[in-house]
Every structure is written in C-alpha cells, then in structure tokens.
Amino acid sequence: MKPSTLLKNCLSRLALNPPSAEFLARVEYSAQEKFDIAIGAVRAVIVGAIGMQDALAETLNTQDTEITFAPGETGDVRHAYRAVDLSSRRVAASGLNDLLNQLNEDVKK
C-alpha cells in the first residue's frame, strides 16, 4: 500500500472512530512548579508547624503543659513541646513567611 493511501485510510478511520479518551503521558514538573513545591515545603514545615503547635495548645487550653508524642504500636522516638517555649520561633517564622512572600513576588515578576 502506498504511504499516501495508508494515510488516507488512517484519516478516514479516525474520522469514523474519533479517539474516545486522551492518552496520558508523564510530564516533568516545570521550574515554576518545582519552586512552588520547595517554597510550600519550607512554609509547611516552619510556618505551618508553628500554627499547628499553637492550635493544638489552644485546644488543650495550655501554655506551659508539655504536649508529648509517644510511640504507639511501633517506633521508639518520643518528642514534646510546650507552647510557652515557642515565642522566639513564632517571631522568626512570621519573619520568614514575609521573606518567602517577597521571594515569591520576585520570582513571579
């Protein structure tokens, strides 16, 4: 079969049976998406963590009681915090949040 005939056959078949769904393909993250993930991670770990620690302490209505995380069925790591000890980090996290906002503005200009 000539290539031109083959192409014509394919085209007419496509016209009769248009593809019913899109083909999925792997797409790499763009530089902007990578930047957003990195900034989001820093924000979640630092600014978000302080917010979560404060919210939990507020729910438990405590500032100076230790809130402890102890192993359940598995694990052996134990960690704890007291809301009263968060003040210096709270200020730093707020400052960092402002700086990340500035960085975001500059990158998107």
Can you give the binding site for another protein, defined by CB under 8 A?
37-38, 40-56, 58-60, 62, 65-75, 77-81, 88-89, 92-93, 95-97, 99-100, 102-103, 106-109
Q: How far is the CB of 27 from another protein (least distance, A)?
A: 10
In the bound state with another protein, the residue whose beta carbon lies nearer, of 7 and 92, is: 92
Q: Residue 65 in contact with residue 53, Cβ under 8 Å? A: no
In the bound state with another protein, the residue whose beta carbon lies nearer, of 45 and 84, is: 45
DSSP 17: S
Q: How far is the CB of 59 from another protein (least distance, A)?
A: 4
Tokens 């438990």 belong to residue: 60
In the bound state with another protein, the residue whose beta carbon lies nearer, of 10 and 91, is: 91
Separation between Cα atoms, residue 37 and residue 22, nearest integer Å: 27
In the bound state with another protein, the residue whose beta carbon lies nearer, of 16 and 64, is: 64
- 3-state secondary structure (DSSP) of residue 79: strand
* Phi/psi of residue 65, nearest 5 degrees: -90, 140
DSSP 45: I
